[in-house]
Structure 1
């Protein structure tokens, strides 16, 4: 090694000599030669530091060792030195983890894993000493996407090496991730597959069975869970702490509290007999406190929780409330604070504990890049927010003080679409500092990462094989680590401002300027809260019997399942539409030109315009008192987004994408007419037929202010994500996350573009949300499988009115009124199914009425020409067979 190093140094010296001469570089030669012994000593120095770790305990020693490790990393160049650094980082990770410093441990293991991959090291058990503890740390810190990627990485390695023990270990840990993310069926399939096809030793088989029992318990299949757990204990008589804890859960479910306590005592004994971490025993004490609460012994429950807190915060003063400065990212702390909050009788103390939980959750989320994982954490925040709102609502009702309403509104808004708002804030930061290299790199890496995730999803859906899945998983894992490191640097440079709430006076002032009222919904597990802001003031309402209300809402939404559902029972629809109106719209709110709706949960699938403000006196749709006839409706994802300013351009360029799919079973006959009408009205750039490819869209979309997509789309399901079709390919939702668009308006003239998997607080994970994520300020999208012909007509009317008013909000409203008043439309097709499917999310644009008679005349001529064109198309093609919906 030294000979090779000497040869390399002499080559460098000769090059310098030719350039600068001999005399001036004798000193340089001496300096270069002096590196040789240092290089030989570096490996020994690193291993000496590894030895010192075993004796380290005080924080200042860890700090000095960290500084040494950072210096060594800069000097390491040979494979031996990189291997030594790998061992050092893994040992540091172990000691940090043992000392309860999880985030520092994660950073060390991440550094070791990157070193292993970058330098293609092999002479080290990377699974046992790096990837297994790293995957476990990701899991317990709630970084589930990164946990899954890491565990899959060493599952693939174990399969390549034929290492059965590590393969089963990976399956065990992967099933825990699936369980913690609510994917119980996925966990069960994985565990049952390995129990059937693998021959693990008795201990691992018992652990597989235990995890299987845990997932069946989560699905409330208690008898099956108990039978599997019994089989686990028979397989391996050495009962582990997790098994005892499962037994305690089953006993608690049967109200056998004393038996459950006995099992937890046995679990504690098993934990203490093994080398364990503070969090393991702390988590057990949280479970013990739950049993005390069930028994009504709140004093004992508090004592157990403070004992648990003592394990995690050994220096905490038991006579004082914890403060934020002592906290760190740890899920068990959240469980303790939530439990303490629920035991408090004093509202302010209870809210303080909940705030500590929010704070620790925020610390955990800072380590997370994956949007899916952020959404999962947002769900926990929603549950906590509901409890806070409930406390404040009761005080508000007792005191009638708006102060408590405003505080409740703070919790409702903070938990609403937090992942989406975070993405929008990141894009705003990039726009504010367009030349910042860190932000530019983050944008690039984020796009590459989302495209990689998209390829991974496609590979799994199409069965491309393990090699492709492994490649994309490995790439995604590496990009996650790079993005995490980059995000840390960005947060240091541009510290994120915590959400401090919305100024209700500021909100009411904007509503006044927009001549609007606003209803903000918060849909909780126990109650539906309704915040109403109007010129009369602010009100907070709570709806009880949420299960009955949800059934009422689902019944109303079901009328839009197909075109004939309403027409077959107009009376039932009318009754339901009025009943839902009475339940959701507070009296006295309809006294402004606009009504802004901020829906939540199932309410996001309601076409509010189709509600009836009075009981219908007739089955004639023209005479029904639809809300759309009374109010101009605008929707928003949150009140916070409503308050944000949006950019405008005088002359907006429109790009229309119309695949049409002619001469195929997917043909959208009226989409062609829609294209011609829009071209005639707006002078748009149209890509139709074979030109409407995904590649053309990706190339051109960033150059336009308005993007119009008229095609097939689907809201997806639990396996396939939401997607939209181009002429040559389909675009999955993740590809939208990777786009950098800045359109002022996106119009999704397709089926189910607002439908997707419903996530509490975040709403439907739909194509519409994907375009918002990509940068769209305003968006018009559909709530169901819209009719092809009616959609074409609605879109023509929308753009006619958009040209007239220069306001998407006004145009969307007027297009529905015009459709209802159009005498050419058959009465049956004036059902709300045909006209109320498109909802507009965005701000209120004030209408710009034409002032010149010449403009009015020319606009009328354009409208007549387009109407004539529409009629001509209809006559020419009316005998063709066509699909009736823009979904699949």
Structure 2
């Protein structure tokens, strides 16, 4: 487990402990109680030194409890005991307790010494390392940066501590995957480091070179680290034992199995002298042995011999994985392969997750081996064990996510654990293919759902939870205040960094403000969770919508199609596309094996559709697009053509598919002998299509009845004379170009829907914020500025503010998140409103997400920069068909087909009309006029029938 080994596993925490024990000692006192406090503290030190961390915890707690009675809760005399208590908790793997203690130590420093005192560095450095062990590398990086800022208040006094902190920052960058910056930081930190720090940095540099596939440099720097440790501490030091673990993990990854086994044995000989067999360190030893047997190639001259040797190796590996699980848990002791530790039994969630994932992979490999030998009974049993083990891994991921407050941390977790959900779905497919049992298809869909937009779903749940969780308005207002200020400072920090000569003092100030406010926000969230159980229960419920629930809610004309993609890589030439097709009475679960051609086709179609040179499309480009679009159709939909006939499609894309409108796919082999965009067999000619981030969001959160007072609120700034210099984006440094057709667009719309329209200089941001919650339809026809670095700061450009206004005319995604909308539909007719950064496991981080979060269940958005005039006409037709009672996706499809039918050869190019898509609820907003005609006819028939009865009765009388 390479990335979790560092100075932090060293018992004395890289020298920090001695600093606390010597610099911040309690003063002697004649008072007996004071002497007792000192006695408890010193006894804690003694027990800590011999590795009795439980005893040390007890003594430090006694010192703190008695000290609070004598000196008060925030006395400076409690600081050393608090920090050392946190270190002892860390060594016991009790990370949440350690965090709580460090936060108390932080309060002590701030109460006694102020908010800029260097003593805070020790607290923040320790907190950063705890968050590293918890797997929250974003928070770890933030705390290490805060520690460095505090130390730099007195750089001469804390020279060695600054060196340690810089090395921790370099490691945090490595763990976040920023290898270029990490290696620069590591080499910078080397310049003023002692041997102890150098050994750590050499090990870190080796790990970075490994990630960059530079294996000679990897070996070189590991050997440098081992050499320093051997000379400095001897051949049996625990530092060396920990580094042997790291090195053997590297050797396993590059396939040097014999050497890896030797170093694992060396590590075990040392580790057992210092740690028990119930420790993370011993768990890592067992994990290395397991990975040795999993990975090594058995030598065999005959296939039967290979089969038996490989099976024996896999079973040995499983035995060691089980030992690793036992070592990584305080109470778990089962050696049975079908057992895993229960939630809460693990010492470290992130370490346990790695072991369980590896065990699941081993069980799947054993099942594959049985299947290749036609032993279907044992194959099924092993696949089922792999599935239950992977399910435990997904539960751990959810458990870890609940401990992360920041969205950035949740995104990082989603991206790095996406492979766990892909494995889960893959095992479900193998079981479904083997047994044809429907339960495995249902379970596969459940895993696919849990992999989709988990952080966004958590945010939506959090928003809903606050509405009925009993949280007082005063606390909610405090939360809004903190979130707003965090957002403002982050944006100022981003903009300052865009300047040619950024002001380092301003950057330092903004970083400090973001850190301090984020700390306050996290502590407020902790109050929510601990004091309001209803809020907590709803927020962290780990349920997704099931197949049967979807089938109950969709119409006979609807089919839901969800994808999960494992892209091919340099290490793995073939990828997989898993597909779930749900209709009211069927579930189809299938898999397509794809290679790099599949990804290439996605990129080819996207580049063709979004190219700014669409006016100059050549025959070769036309042919390339047409062939790629048809090949994508063959992979994604062709096998389901019969099931999907006469259906409306709800598509839940994955990975790069989120950038493509499925309308662009071609359902038949195209004729490429001539270039004719009007006659291509676009999918829009066969289906109405809408999209959603996940089925759970669509069917559990995106339903809404009309509650707004008014119908339409539309904005159309013209930008005439608008010289605003938005310097973060070079495209807009000369000001915003006018959009001549947007006035025409909103006038068209107003002809079909009653409401209020604000054009030109009246299209102000403050007015939108003031009015938006009162309207059923929001229509925004304007420029968009996309920020791929910080997606929450992508912006809608309203008119340049006039007068003394607080708003700046830029409505960013983060501000939209804080709104409370009653609209049933938002039409973002601005350019690129559906584009943005692709976040693995979350989807495209677009402006549209903000409107969904704010309560608007349906979004019409654009995937690229739509041409002004054609966009206006498509929107006109969209509202025309919408007003006749068509559903949103049907209305948009009809508008696109009308464009194709009426366009000249040039404007039939897909760039003009394909960019608009519907996301979320696509139900009609209005009853069509046809229904009223039917009701009138029905009424006339009823009247005629009654009249005939009356006449017959009168004739009899």
Q: Distance in 2 between matches of 1:76 and 1:810?
A: 74
Using a 3 Å threshold, how does the CA distance of structure 1 residues 254 and 574 change in structure 2: closer, same or farther? Answer: closer
Match of 1:400 in 2: 436
Q: Distance in 2 between matches of 1:126 and 1:366?
A: 30
State the Cα deviation string for residues 512-553 of structure 1 (Å, max 9, x = none): 35x211111111243110101125611111011243322222
Q: Distance in 1 between matches of 2:255 and 2:471?
A: 62
Q: Distance in 1 between matches of 2:887 and 2:175?
A: 45
The answer as to 2:328 corresponding to 1:312 is: yes
Using a 3 Å threshold, how does the CA distance of structure 1 residues 53 and 795 change in structure 2: closer, same or farther? Answer: farther
The within-5 A match list for 1:77-88 is 81-88=74-81
Q: Distance in 1 between matches of 2:762 and 2:163?
A: 50
Using a 3 Å threshold, how does the CA distance of structure 1 residues 172 and 684 change in structure 2: closer, same or farther? Answer: farther
Instruction: Report deviation, 1:431.
Output: 3.2
Q: Distance in 2 between matches of 1:137 and 1:150?
A: 10
1:660 corresponds, among 715, 718, 721, to 718
The within-5 A match list for 1:486-885 is 486-489=527-530, 492-494=533-535, 495-496=537-538, 498-512=541-555, 515-525=557-567, 526-535=575-584, 537-565=586-614, 567-569=617-619, 570-585=622-637, 586-617=640-671, 619-644=675-700, 646-649=703-706, 652-663=710-721, 665=734, 666-667=736-737, 668-718=739-789, 723-726=794-797, 727=800, 728=808, 730-805=810-885, 807-822=887-902, 825-846=903-924, 848-850=927-929
Q: Distance in 2 between matches of 1:265 and 1:717?
A: 47
Q: Distance in 2 between matches of 1:721 and 1:435?
A: 26
Using a 3 Å threshold, how does the CA distance of structure 1 residues 687 and 396 change in structure 2: closer, same or farther? Answer: same
Q: Distance in 1 between matches of 2:317 and 2:491?
A: 47
Instruction: Report deviation, 1:246.
Output: 5.3
Match of 1:298 in 2: 314
Using a 3 Å threshold, how does the CA distance of structure 1 residues 439 and 121 change in structure 2: closer, same or farther? Answer: closer
Instruction: Report deviation, 1:732.
Output: 4.9
State the Cα deviation string for residues 269-302 of structure 1 (Å, max 9, x = none): 6656778993234234323321221125234323
SS of the equivalent of 1:351 reads helix
Match of 1:368 in 2: 404
Contact residue 563 and residue 834 of structure 1 kept, 8 A: no
SS of the equivalent of 1:429 reads helix
Instruction: Report deviation, 1:742.
Output: 4.7
Equivalent pairs counted in the alignment come to 808
Structure ranking higher on relative contact order (CA contacts 8 Å, 6+ apart): 1
Contact residue 745 and residue 779 of structure 1 kept, 8 A: yes
Contact residue 520 and residue 599 of structure 1 kept, 8 A: yes
Match of 2:290 in 1: 289
SS of the equivalent of 1:324 reads coil
State the Cα deviation string for residues 739-792 of structure 1 (Å, max 9, x = none): 444542222222322222222221112222233334332112121232222222
Q: Distance in 2 between matches of 1:697 and 1:190?
A: 45
Match of 1:879 in 2: none
Residue range with higher mean Cα deviation, 588-597 or 295-304 = 295-304
TM-score w.r.t. the length of structure 1 is: 0.82
Q: Distance in 2 between matches of 1:691 and 1:475?
A: 38
SS of the equivalent of 2:564 reads strand
Q: Distance in 2 between matches of 1:443 and 1:121?
A: 26
Using a 3 Å threshold, how does the CA distance of structure 1 residues 692 and 121 change in structure 2: closer, same or farther? Answer: same
Instruction: Report deviation, 1:131.
Output: 2.2
Using a 3 Å threshold, how does the CA distance of structure 1 residues 771 and 331 change in structure 2: closer, same or farther? Answer: same
Q: Distance in 1 between matches of 2:591 and 2:659?
A: 20
Instruction: Report deviation, 1:391.
Output: 1.6
Instruction: Report deviation, 1:156.
Output: 0.4
Match of 1:36 in 2: none
Using a 3 Å threshold, how does the CA distance of structure 1 residues 661 and 326 change in structure 2: closer, same or farther? Answer: closer
Q: Distance in 1 between matches of 2:595 and 2:472?
A: 49
Contact residue 859 and residue 920 of structure 2 kept, 8 A: yes
Match of 2:204 in 1: 211
Instruction: Report deviation, 1:305.
Output: 2.5
Q: Which runs of 5+ in 1 are unaligned?
A: 1-39, 855-888
The within-5 A match list for 1:81-120 is 81-120=74-113
Using a 3 Å threshold, how does the CA distance of structure 1 residues 338 and 844 change in structure 2: closer, same or farther? Answer: same
Using a 3 Å threshold, how does the CA distance of structure 1 residues 156 and 122 change in structure 2: closer, same or farther? Answer: closer
SS of the equivalent of 1:559 reads helix
Q: Distance in 2 between matches of 1:192 and 1:773?
A: 43
Q: Distance in 2 between matches of 1:130 and 1:718?
A: 30
Using a 3 Å threshold, how does the CA distance of structure 1 residues 224 and 701 change in structure 2: closer, same or farther? Answer: farther
The answer as to 2:251 corresponding to 1:251 is: yes
Match of 2:119 in 1: 126
SS of the equivalent of 2:554 reads helix
Using a 3 Å threshold, how does the CA distance of structure 1 residues 387 and 573 change in structure 2: closer, same or farther? Answer: same
Match of 1:7 in 2: none
